[in-house]
Amino acid sequence: MGLRGYIIKRIIYTVILILGVITLNFFIFEAIPGNPLENYINRPNITQETIAKLRDAFGIGKPWYVKYPTYVKSMLTFNFGQASTQMGSAKVVDLIMQGLGNTLLLLGASSIIAVVVGILIGAYAAHERGKAVDGLIVVTSLATFALPTFWMGLIFQAIFSFWLKWLPAMGWFTNTLTGPIANPFYYWLDRLSYIVLPGAVLFLFTYGGFVLLTRACVLETMTEDYVLTARAKGVRERTVLFKHILRNASLPIITNVAIQFGFLLSGAIITERVFQYNGLGTLIFTAIGVREVPVMQAIFYIIALCVIVANFIADISYGLLDPRVKYG
């Protein structure tokens, strides 16, 4: 089977998997005692307009076999209904979009930097195995990977916000910068000042895991015959490390990168709460706290969708990066 046939096969599997996720998401909330969606619309703070939109989106009050097709259609068309007054009586899609930009800015930047730096330092640590620098890298990576993110966040706030007063302790922008942006440079400089501390926490946590993973994968590949052959031919050590060793050790790393970016839209709930950062993690935390069922259903579905798409991209990338992988 060629690449085209493999892609078609994977697309079919992906569609089936998405339908399976939608079905599972539907029955999980249906199986909760008391039927949370029906209890949700009976709250005193929900308007009749919101109830009508939710009935239309989820088929509330009808038998499950009638609600299920309506639910599938709503999920596939991203019609997630409307939230209650506790969350502003806004459409669920609008609530998600409000935090999407902040989450992508924070987690996207920190994840990309952490993955690149972690892979490079992990490969270097494997190359210097047994030396003092290797031990130092492993110990620091284990420490940052094991430390709780909320603890690192509180330490960073104490040092850089309350003691040195270099960076804001919490929030996501300065209130005085609301309204039309007169100077984009100062606006983004202000936004970035709020990202540094939570971004540093997420970087340290993510970076440590990729250092350890890359080091283990590279060490396993360094004794292969093609590596010894390349060195015997006089190929530069840097070329051997990055072209021959790291490329052929990349499959587990690609899988973990896909998972990392697949969960990007889940936000960083603990870190966002510590820094009061208005992202999707905060939205999930708030929705769980007030039992905002439509928001929870929508976010769980979108997270699963992102993981499925990320793994689909990773599967296609395997054959492009490793010639040993055969499509079949």
Same domain, 78 and 98: no
Same domain, 235 and 300: yes
Same domain, 79 and 100: no
- The residue type of 266 is S
Domain housing 73: 3-83
Residue 56 lies in a domain: yes
* CA triple 148-151-156, angle to 5 deg: 125
Give the mean model confidence (pLDDT) for residues 31-51. 66
Give the mean model confidence (pLDDT) for residues 73-79. 85
Query: Predicted confidence band at 178 (pLDDT cuts at 50, 70, 90)?
Result: low
Q: Reply yes or no on whether the pLDDT at 138 is more than 70.
A: yes
Same domain, 211 and 79: no
Residue 326 lies in a domain: no
Same domain, 102 and 12: no
Give the mean model confidence (pLDDT) for residues 286-302. 83
The answer to whether 46 touches 85, Cβ cutoff 8 Å, is yes
Percentage of the chain with pLDDT > 70?
A: 82
Q: Which two tokens mark 32?
A: 């909760």
Same domain, 78 and 96: no
Same domain, 122 and 201: yes
Q: pTM (2 decimals)?
A: 0.77
Least confident of 13-27, 76-90, 110-124, 149-163: 76-90
Give the mean model confidence (pLDDT) for residues 35-44. 63
Q: Which two tokens mark 189?
A: 């400089």
Domain boundary residue, one of 48, 64, 83: 83
pLDDT at 241: 76
Domain boundary residue, one of 33, 55, 83: 83
Q: Which two tokens mark 89?
A: 């009586």
Q: Pick the more confident residue, 159 or 234.
A: 159
Domain boundary residue, one of 65, 83, 101: 83
Per DSSP, 104 falls in state: I
In tens, the pLDDT along 236-255 reads 877 777 777 777 777 788 88
pLDDT at 76: 87
Per DSSP, 82 falls in state: B
Q: How many Cβ atoms are within 10 Å of 92's Cβ, its own excluded?
A: 26
pLDDT at 44: 64
Alpha carbon distance 282, 304 (integer Å)? 18
Alpha carbon distance 24, 300 (integer Å)? 11
pLDDT at 315: 77
Same domain, 71 and 100: no
Which runs of E-coded beta strand occur in the chain? Answer: none
Query: Predicted confidence band at 158 (pLDDT cuts at 50, 70, 90)?
Result: very high
For residue 17, give the H/E element and its range. Answer: helix 3-31
Mean pLDDT (the chain) is: 80
pLDDT at 284: 84
Same domain, 11 and 124: no
Q: What phi, psi does 82 have (nearest 5°)?
A: -125, 145
Which residues 6+ apart lie within 8 Å of 100 measured at CB?
265, 280
| Total number of domains in the chain | 2
In tens, the pLDDT along 257-286 reads 887 777 766 667 888 888 888 888 888 888
Residue 160 lies in a domain: yes
Same domain, 230 and 109: yes
Q: How far is CA 109 from CA 15, 200, 213, 328, in A?
A: 30, 10, 20, 36
Which residues 6+ apart lie within 8 Å of 290 measured at CB?
84, 86, 87
pLDDT at 169: 84
Residue 258 lies in a domain: yes
Query: Predicted confidence band at 98 (pLDDT cuts at 50, 70, 90)?
Result: confident
The answer to whether 213 touches 122, Cβ cutoff 8 Å, is yes
Alpha carbon distance 28, 26 (integer Å)? 6
Same domain, 136 and 227: yes
pLDDT at 327: 60
Q: Reply yes or no on whether the pLDDT at 167 is more than 80.
A: yes
Same domain, 212 and 71: no
Residue 328 lies in a domain: no
